[in-house]
Amino acid sequence: MASHLAVRHISRCSIKPEYISDESKQSFHLTPWDLSMLNIRCIERGLLFSKPPPTKDPSSINTIIDHLKDSLSLTLVHFLPLAGHLVTHKQDNPSPSYSISLEYSNNNNNPGVDFVHAVAADVTMADVLSPIDVHVPPIVQSLFLLDEAISHDGHTLPLLAVQVTELVDGIFIACSFNHVVGDGTSYWNFFNAWAEICRKMMVKGKHVDNISCPPVLTRWFLDDENGHVDPIINLPFSHHDEFIDRYEPPVLLRERFFHFSPESIARLKAKANEECNTNTNASTSTSIISSFQALSALVWRCVTRARRHLPSHQKTTCSLTVNNRSRLNPPLSPDYFGNCVQAVNATVTVEELLSHGIGWAAWLLHEAVNGHSDSNVRRWLEGWMVSPFIYQPTKLLGPCNVVMGSSPRFNMYGCDFGWGKAEAVRSGSANKFDGYVSSYPGRPGGGSVDLEVSLQSECMTALESDPEFMDALSP
């Protein structure tokens, strides 16, 4: 297996937008959803591509790198916040205030996007992918930048860092995306836009003026009873030391991918609905347990059982990340750029969870998601404005919980830079902890799902021998 020391940085530069308009030079005020992410590490996702066929030009890889840089510069014209930086505004008179904004100014104070060209001369795509029955190899972690940074570090570090690593037979494009800037939806909207511009540039050169899904950069804020919106939020702090929390994951954490075919997902959904006597012919789909709720219930039960040290009376929680864009009334655009997510939870004792079937657990998750309405979203925001807080990872995480992150709905394999469909999606080590599960669409499509599970080593071993879990997997 290749060592993480095998990756060598060849060049590093800062990418700025190709051009900006005067009206684009502005402060982007941050919402409660954005500000609450200040302690969270970057979103780290990357795509593995087969290396494009060689040309007669001996510097063809340099041509690819230059093409990626030029297309990224054009993409930043649309996604200007990514080229900016965080700024804290403090004053004591006439009254104390502490606020944080995202700003872009076309001067030397703006970091732009960090872009690194790297080479892993002895690493193949097979080294990155690894067999399905072993853990994610250490080489993957070295394909990402800003690995230990938290979002608040965007005051001094770039908000987006890109590493393009040349392998023996492939190219890995990895982005480290500050979580204050946006959520997973925003991340993949950006990644797809970059791929679209890169692909079009092969035909049109730099004359690419538009993209299919331009981002909505105007942040959404809750208005008061008089319809007034104040985008400047005064935080109850005088120094960032009062809220900074740098979480370090356990050393013995193992990560592994598990694949579920459309057929296995369908069986799980049918089983969950059958156990709950859910009428799948009901006039409204809200009464039916979804495929992802059934899959999450399976993971919750099996991971809890794998944690053999848990007492029967111990409380265990399963958290699902919900996109608020469609929950609000009126809904926000799916192209809204920023954070717009919240977690919904189901909590029971270990004994309750394991003494019932998958349908019982799936129904708890269904009810949690179904109850996340416009009024609940607004109630959370109203409470946050009265008592602002920033997530403290060390307080949120627990050895009894399961958190389902990312989404199989994200268009990951639609990112075509002009070389065809990616071979795989991989993530860095940021935001990994015991019980965290990242969900991705399966490369074959059709409703297949890949789960990247992070667990303590002994728990992963137990999960790998759990009959209920392994029987649900695709061969």
Q: Alpha-carbon distance 401 to 303, whole Å?
A: 9
Strand ranges in 275-390 using DSSP code E only, listed in sequence order? 315-323, 341-349
- Among residues 147, 245, 335, 416, the one annotated as catalytic is 416
Phi, psi of 56, rounded to the nearest 5 degrees: -70, -15
Active site residue 471: no
Phi, psi of 269, rounded to the nearest 5 degrees: -65, -45
**Quick one: tokens of 472?**
């649900």
Q: Is 276 left (phi over 0), alpha (psi -120 to 50) or beta?
A: alpha
Q: Alpha-carbon distance 160 to 165, whole Å?
A: 16
Q: Alpha-carbon distance 87 to 19, whole Å?
A: 22
Q: For residues 153 and 160, is the Cβ–Cβ distance under 8 A?
A: no
Q: Is 116 left (phi over 0), alpha (psi -120 to 50) or beta?
A: beta
Q: Which residues make Cβ contacts (< 8 Å) with residue 471, sequence separation at least 6?
A: none
Edge-to-edge strand order for the sheet containing 43-50? 8-15, 113-119, 160-166, 170-177, 43-50, 424-427
Q: Is 238 left (phi over 0), alpha (psi -120 to 50) or beta?
A: alpha
Phi, psi of 363, rounded to the nearest 5 degrees: -65, -35
The one-letter amino acid at 329: N
**Which SS3 state, helix, strand or coil, does residue 297 take?**
helix
Total residues belonging to the chain = 475
**Quick one: tokens of 86?**
């965080």
The residue written with tokens 């879990």 in the block is 469
Residue 208's alpha-carbon distances to 25, 38, 193, 376, in angstroms, are 22, 34, 11, 42
Q: For residues 189 and 337, is the Cβ–Cβ distance under 8 A?
A: yes
Catalytic residues: 416
